[in-house]
Amino acid sequence: MRWLYRVRQFWSALTAAPRPEDLFEVGKTLSPALMRLFEQMHPSEQAHSLIIYRRLREQGETDTDLLAAALLHDVGKSLYPLQMGERVAIVLMKALFPGYAKSWGQGEPKGWKRPFVIAEKHAEWGAQMAAQAGASPTTVELIRRHQEPALSDAHPRLASRREDHWLMRLQSLDNES
């Protein structure tokens, strides 16, 4: 029933937007240059990122590298804003035919494959954007890797570095939100 969860997630995202007090909180975590990146994101993606950020904070997290990655992990999508129908196509294809969605995500973001390319490559684009805006190497790495297969699923013993544990937390919260 993962697809049903994704449909509910999609509908709740239609009206999601950060409140002014949320933006104030983000501004205390991100540098001005990184804040400008956050402001480029679609309001629903900002709200999604804020959910992850808040959950990390509720768990006692204070590390600014991880918190910044939580806020900016989807910033690469701002390069090619998605239309509502494209968002629906991504959610449905990833749920029903993940292999096709992944293979269609190669190439340039043009034509009918555009949404799948954006979904597939936004992590790399976002990491480049964050690096150019002065994010720490750790934040950049977490953004770049947030779409990778989860270490805890495939190779739990590979999660030996602190950053790998942070990545697992980020991925877990991203998948829940």
| DSSP states of the chain | -HHHHHHHHHHHHTS----HHHHHHHHHHS-HHHHHHHHHS-HHHHHHHHHHHHHHHHTT---HHHHHHHHHTTGGGGGSPPPHHHHHHHHHHHHH-HHHHHHHTSS-S-GGGHHHHHHHHHHHHHHHHHHHTT--HHHHHHHHHTTSPPHHHH-GGG--SHHHHHHHHHHHHHHH-
The pLDDT, as a whole number, for residue 95 is 83
Question: Which amino acid is located at 31 in the chain?
Answer: S
* pLDDT score, position 94: 85
Stretch 150-168: mean pLDDT: 68
Please name which of 26, 16, 77, 65 lies closest in space to residue 169, comparing C-alpha atoms. Answer: 65
Q: Which residues contact 118 (CB under 8 A, 6 or more apart)?
A: 77, 79, 80, 82, 86, 90, 109
Confidence class for position 155, pLDDT limits 50, 70, 90: low
Chain mean pLDDT for the chain: 86
Query: What does the pLDDT read at residue 160?
Result: 58
The residue with greater pLDDT, 140 or 20, is 140
Percent above pLDDT 70 for the chain:
85
| pLDDT, tens digit (0-9, with 9 covering 90-100), for 102-148 | 899 899 999 999 999 999 999 999 999 999 999 999 999 999 999 88
Residue 16 pLDDT: 73
pLDDT tens-digit map of 61-86: 999 999 999 999 999 999 999 888 88
Average pLDDT over residues 24-43: 94
